Amino acid sequence: MGIADIIILALVAAGVIAVILRARKKGACADCAQGCSCDHAKHGAGACPALKGVDRVADELGCGVR
Amino acid sequence: MKTLGDVKVGDSSTIVKLHGTGALRRHLMDLGLIKGTSFKVVKVAPLGDPVEITVRGYELSIRKEEAAIVEVE
Amino acid sequence: MAASQLHVALAGNPNCGKTTLFNLLTGQNGYVGNWPGVTVEKKEARLSSDASVIVTDLPGIYSLSPYSPEEVVSRDYLMSGEPDVVIQLLDATNLERNLYLALQVVECGLPVVVALNMADLVEKNGDKIDTDALSKRLGAPVVMISALRNTGIDELIAAAKRAAAAKHAVPEHKFDSAIEDVLDKIEKLLPASVPASKRRYYAVKLFERDEAATKLINPTKEAAAAIEQIIAQCEADCDDDAESIIAGERYAVIAHIMDACVKKAPSKMSVSEKIDRVVTNRILGLPIFVLIMWAVYSIATSADAFGTAGTDWVNDCLFGDGFELFGMAFPSIPGAIEGMLAAAGASELVTSLVLDGIVAGVGAVLGFIPQMFVLFVLLSFLEDCGYLARVAFVMDRVFRRFGLSGKSFIPMLVATGCGVPGVLATKTIENEKDRRMTVMTTTFIPCGAKLPVIALLMGALVGDGEAGWISPLFYFLGVIAVIVSGVMLKKTKLFAGRPTPFVMELPAYHFPSLRSWWLHIWERVSAYIKKAFTIIFASTVVVWFLMNFGVYEGAFGFLPEITGGLEEFTSYSILAMIGTAIGWVFIPLGFSSWETTAMSISGLVAKENLVGIASTILAVGDDTGLSPELWQAFGGLFPTAGAIAAFGAFNLLCAPCFAAMGTIRAQMNSAKWTAIAIGYECGFAWIVGLMINQFYLLAQGVFSVWTVVAIVIAALMLFQIFRPMPHWAWDDDRAEVKAPAGAAA
């Protein structure tokens, strides 16, 4: 295996590890369009910027009775 | 007793009384449905329910079951 | 509390630009959490123009009744002594209803400033609002603002500061003199400890027999009895109950205010109403919805449309054979990379990893972006213009017959983009059983990530032909799965119960602003791209590894080498071992090879993987994506068309991706219910796949024990769907809606 191989393999491995770490850190936010800059552990449904859109949609779609 | 659900599309009527107790009744009142309020039935959704009415200048959609506690003229 | 800090409370109806106003005032950087002890969101932040002012955004409410946690939290805060001034938001296009809350807020005895929003819209309609008269009648300064256009905000802040400094509590409006007498009497009976500014508020609440307020006041036994007598007398005189009397009085005051302040233009049916007459028409409403969604999915995936043409170009040229631009020939991306790798002297292993694994996988997924784009252009438009609200209205009746509420439909509309916010949207459903069931079934709706899967299946089923109609079919498969599940589950003990009340207002139609439309689209597309380069990338690497390493004749190693270039080396791979070990589950569904099993499993990580991994597995090096080869190769993995359809149905309906599953767990807040949800989804998917495959085989004349199983299950499902609702299902709620004969308590 030449030098090019090792470099490429190292890059790929680094990439995979980065993805895994990112997924662990962001949890459900990993796919979030906003790139969820909030700390996943801290925020509830209220702080998530993606959910802001949902609130707006839910708001726009009406207000329900309990 | 004639209720809000019995009013035909396009017709108007006036509320006589709200029956029942509790949160739903209060909520309907808070939205403007009280004794003496007039409203107009604008449309009824496919298959007959919910009912959309115009009251106090805005549109409200109400289920027939809930409308059942609203007695009208 | 620092002397220089000012506390401002922001009150108003939901749906009236309150959130927009809050964001304009504070810049979206506030603390978001919950009010103590309840699941009501608390939003608080400092004014962006003046950090010594703290704004607390109260939940959107219609009234200060004691019945819902949002209202209780709001009134408790207003009476707590912390706010120095209240900004009451009035929506000029809905003045009557907004005033109902405004009057109650004014009764709290705090300085109030009124923010009149959207007055410009009202004038466009021809109506005129006399803000001076309004200010006089309410006893509070009125500032015209436009939250949308960001005007009037500075004056509003200035007025609020002035009002807070003056500490001048607003003079109250007066009800009918008879009622005023009654309220006076009650006021006198309040304990002396109640401050002057609050006596009126409590007198009214006690008259309404408000339990929470009564507990707070804690009147003596004699006082309580006297008050009760006063109320009873009044009720007898008016032939109405106390709550109703006060509501009536408030509306009477509102009527006076409206007369004095608002000059209405002659009414004509608005454009919104005209559209609604057709779109939510009794007979046409549902078919129109079906037609629209059909069109949306067809356009996004049909052979002649922009979306597919774009996808084809990406797959055949960018990732395929290369293309010409301005008379120059460009190599395709795989071609270019191959060249670079060869020049660098990379080994066969690494070349295979990069080309057959990563590029094939990620490239296939990226290839669908043109189609995704078209899909979201259409969906975002429908969402932004207000049509989807009507759909909730239309579906509510369909749902209601099955014991569901239209409220459950809203998360599903959100889920057409991505399942994660769809599941999160279920938080608006207060009824726990309904919420659980909605969480369980929301992910049946195809999300954006499933579109490539649908397109792939389409190709496999019909090749190059006219197949624009197959993708809508899969969309409606999801919708029907939701309805069928709802019907079946509602009749079980776990979920039975009366449908939640759903009283909603329909916003007017409006052409979405280009900016918000584009933002929506870009949100989804960029998320998809990010996913491709992260999760899909990692998945293809892992799968490539599992596919290229295995045990051959007792030795573990890189298979292409140790098998001496055997064509079918993948059948010795780790992936093949895993797939074969699990694959037997899918035998009755028609597809049990390790390849299809591996694809299904990869779908748990992300649904796009079904396409990405398929591409990698099939090692279709040069041509990826929708080119006939991928279709053909993919189709070749299945014995029959029925199996392909079964595979599609299974993967579209079974448990969603990890991200969505995590969200389900968060919403259910219980491992048991999460397991039930995922288990149900997988089980349901398996059964549907089974039935599709078996009935297809039956039509071909093949009969086996599994055919019998499929028939039996189908019969059971039909039974559960069509049997009448068991009588115990709605018993617990029956007490609520009393027979009309009884008088109101």
Quick: pLDDT tens for B26-51. Answer: 888 888 888 888 999 887 765 556 78
Q: C250 vs C573, which has greater pLDDT?
A: C250
Mean pLDDT of C589-609: 84
Task: Look at strands C41-47 and C31-34 and give their pairing.
Answer: antiparallel
* C468-to-B8, B31, C132, C378, C499 alpha-carbon distances in Å: 42, 46, 60, 16, 37
The single-letter DSSP state of residue B33 is -
Residue A49 lies in a domain: yes
**Of A43, A50, A62, Cβ closest to residue C505:** A62
Residue position matching structure tokens 């670079």: C340
What is the arithmetic mean of pLDDT over C239-246?
88
pLDDT of residue C685 exceeding 90: yes
Q: Which of C459, C479, C489 is nearest to C648 (CA)?
A: C459
What pLDDT is stored for residue C116 in this prediction?
93
Q: Residue C684's pLDDT is what? A: 93
Average pLDDT over residues C559-571: 66
Percent of chain C with pLDDT over 90: 14
CA nearest C647: which of C396, C471, C453, C371?
Answer: C453
**Which of C119-128, C476-485, C508-517 holds the top average pLDDT?**
C476-485
CB-CB under 8 Å, A22 with C501: no
B59/chain A closest Cα distance in angstroms: 11
Q: Which of C63, C95, C505 sits opposite B30 (nearest CB)?
A: C63
Q: DSSP E strands: which ranges in C127-232?
A: 128-129, 142-145
Q: Tokens for A63?
A: 């207000």
Q: Residue B44 sits in which domain range?
A: 4-72
Distance from C-alpha of C60 to C-alpha of B30, rounded to nearest angstrom:
13
Q: How many CB pairs under 8 A join A and C?
A: 157
In chain C, what are the domains?
Answer: 177-240 (1.10.287.1770), 516-722 (no CATH)
B-contacting residues in A 33-62 (Cβ below 8 Å)? 62
| Distance in Å, alpha carbon of B70 to nearest chain A alpha carbon | 16
Res A39: pLDDT? 41
User: Which token pair is C236?
Assistant: 């007898």
Chain C nearest C-alpha distance from A41 (Å): 12
Residues present in chain B in total: 73
What is d(CA C291, CA C297) in angstroms, rounded to the nearest whole number? 10
| Placement of tokens 């819209």 in the chain | C121
Contacts of A21 (CB under 8 A, 6+ apart): none
Inter-helix orientation angle C242-261/C221-238, to 10°: 60
pLDDT confidence of C683, banded at 50, 70, 90? very high
Element containing residue C46 per DSSP (H, E): strand C41-47
**Which of A61, A63, A65 should be substituted to probe chain B, the one whose Cβ sees the most B Cβ atoms within 10 Å?**
A65
C454 to chain A, closest Cα gap in Å: 20
Phi, psi of C145 (to 5 degrees): -135, 165
Task: Look at residues C10, C193, C171, C195 and name the one whose alpha carbon lies nearest to residue C84.
Answer: C10
CB C103 within 8 A of CB C254: yes
DSSP letters along A12-66, please? HHHHHHHHHHHHHHHGGGGG-TT---S-TTT--TTT-HHHHHHHHHHHHT-----
Among B45-59, C120-134, C560-574, the minimum mean pLDDT is found in C560-574
pLDDT at C738: 28
Confidence at A38, pLDDT banded by 50, 70, 90 = very low
pLDDT top residue among C226 and A23? C226
Q: Do the chains contact at C523 and A23, CB–CB below 8 Å?
A: no
Q: Give the pLDDT score at C320.
A: 64
Residues in A touching C350 (Cβ below 8 Å) = 1, 4-5, 8-9
Q: Does A65 map to a domain?
A: no
**Predicted pLDDT of residue C263:** 80
Token pair for C563: 């098998």
From chain A residues 13-52, the ones with a CB under 8 A of any chain C CB are 15-16, 19-20, 22-23, 27-28, 30-35, 43-48, 50-51
The answer to whether the CB of C264 falls within 8 A of the CB of C127 is yes
DSSP E strands in C294-353: the ranges are 323-325, 328-330
Higher confidence at residue B70 or residue C36? B70
Q: Which of C49, C10, C244, C20 has its CA nearest to residue C154? A: C49
Q: What is the pLDDT of residue C118?
A: 82
pLDDT band at A34 (very low <50, low <70, confident <90, very high): very low
Average pLDDT in the C512-521 region? 80
In the chain, the amino acid numbered C290 is V
Prediction ipTM score: 0.88
Continuous segment of H or E residues that includes residue B44 = strand B38-44
Q: Specify the DSSP class assigned to residue C262.
A: E
At residue C130, what is the residue type? D
Long-range CB pairs of C708-712 (<8 Å, 24+ gap) are C709/C588, C710/C588
Res. C389: pLDDT tops 50: yes
Pick C597 or C28 by higher pLDDT: C597
Pairwise CB contact (< 8 Å): C504 & A63: yes
Q: Do B26 and C63 touch (CB under 8 A)?
A: yes
A38/C19: higher pLDDT: C19
Summarize the confidence of residues C607-621 as an average pLDDT.
Answer: 73
The answer to whether C509 touches C271, Cβ cutoff 8 Å, is yes
Question: Residue C726 has what pLDDT?
Answer: 66
Chain B neighbors of C273, CB-CB under 8 A: 42
Is the pLDDT at C677 greater than 60? The verdict is: yes
> Would the CA dihedral through C530, C533, C534, C539 be positive or negative?
positive
**Residue ranges making up the domain that contains A21:** 3-60
- What residues of chain C, 10 to 29, have a C-beta less than 8 Å from chain A? 14-15, 19
Kindly tell me if the per-residue pLDDT of C199 is higher than 90.
no
Best of A31, A38, A66 to disrupt the C interface by mutation (most C CBs within 10 Å)?
Answer: A31
- Give the single-character DSSP code of C291: H
pLDDT surpasses 50 at C523: yes
pLDDT at C714 exceeding the cut of 80: yes
pLDDT tens digits, one per residue of C175-184: 888 888 999 9
Residue type, B34: I
Alpha-carbon distance C574 to C692, whole Å? Answer: 30
Per-residue confidence (pLDDT) for residue C736, from 0 to 100: 31
Mean pLDDT, rounded, for C468-493 = 83
pLDDT for res C229 = 92
Residue C655 is predicted with a pLDDT of 87
What tokens appear for C250 in the block?
A: 């408030």
Q: How far is CA C502 from CA B22, B24, B46, in A?
A: 16, 10, 16
Number of compact structural domains in chain B: 1
**Chain A neighbours, 3+ Cβ pairs < 8 A:** B, C
CATH number of the domain residue B34 falls in: 2.30.30.90
Residues 6+ apart with CB under 8 A from C267: none
Query: Which has more pLDDT, C734 or B73?
Result: B73
Q: Going by C-beta distance under 8 Å and a sequence separation of 6 or more, which residues neighbour residue C504?
A: A61, A62, A63, A64, B60, B61, C389, C392, C393, C406
Sole residue written with tokens 């069109």: C295
The pLDDT tens digits for C73-103 are 999 999 988 999 999 999 887 788 889 999 9
- Residues C226-241 have a mean pLDDT of 90
Looking at residue C274, its pLDDT comes to 75
| pLDDT value, residue C603 | 85
Lowest model confidence (mean pLDDT) among C124-133, C244-253, C275-284: C275-284
Token pair listed for C328? 């120059």
Confidence of residue C308 (pLDDT cuts 50, 70, 90): low
- Under a CB-based contact definition with an 8 Å cutoff, are residues C686 and C589 in contact? yes
Burial status of residue B4 (CB atoms within 10 A of its CB: 0-12, 13-18, 19 or more):
buried
User: What is the pLDDT, as a whole number, of residue C88?
Assistant: 95
Query: Where residue C533 falls among pLDDT bands split at 50, 70, 90?
Result: confident
List C549's β-bridge partners, or say none. C558
Residues in chain C: 745
Which of C203-207, C567-571, C674-678 comes out lowest in average pLDDT? Answer: C567-571
Bond preceding residue C69 cis, omega within 30 of 0: no
SS3 category, C464: coil
Residue C358 in contact with residue C537, Cβ under 8 Å?
A: yes
Query: Is residue A62 scored above 60 in pLDDT?
Result: no
pLDDT, mean over chain C: 80
pLDDT at C519 over 50: yes
Q: Give how far the C-alpha of residue C709 lies from the chain's centroid of Cα atoms, to the nearest Å.
A: 37
Q: Whole-model pTM?
A: 0.61
Residue C573: which of C522, C633, C617, C527 has the closest Cα?
A: C617
Contact state of C503 with B62 under an 8 Å Cβ cutoff? yes
The answer as to whether A66 is a domain residue is no
Q: What pLDDT does residue C432 have?
A: 80
pLDDT at res. C472: 84
Identify the band that residue C509 occupies on the pLDDT scale cut at 50, 70 and 90: confident
Answer whether residue C19 shows pLDDT above 70.
yes
Q: Does the pLDDT of residue C56 top 90, yes or no?
A: yes
Tell whether the model's pLDDT for residue C54 goes beyond 90: yes
Range of lowest pLDDT (C100-104, C330-334, C660-664):
C330-334
Nearest to B73 by CA among B8, B9, B15, B6: B15
* pLDDT given for residue A50 in this prediction: 47
pLDDT (mean) for C362-375: 82
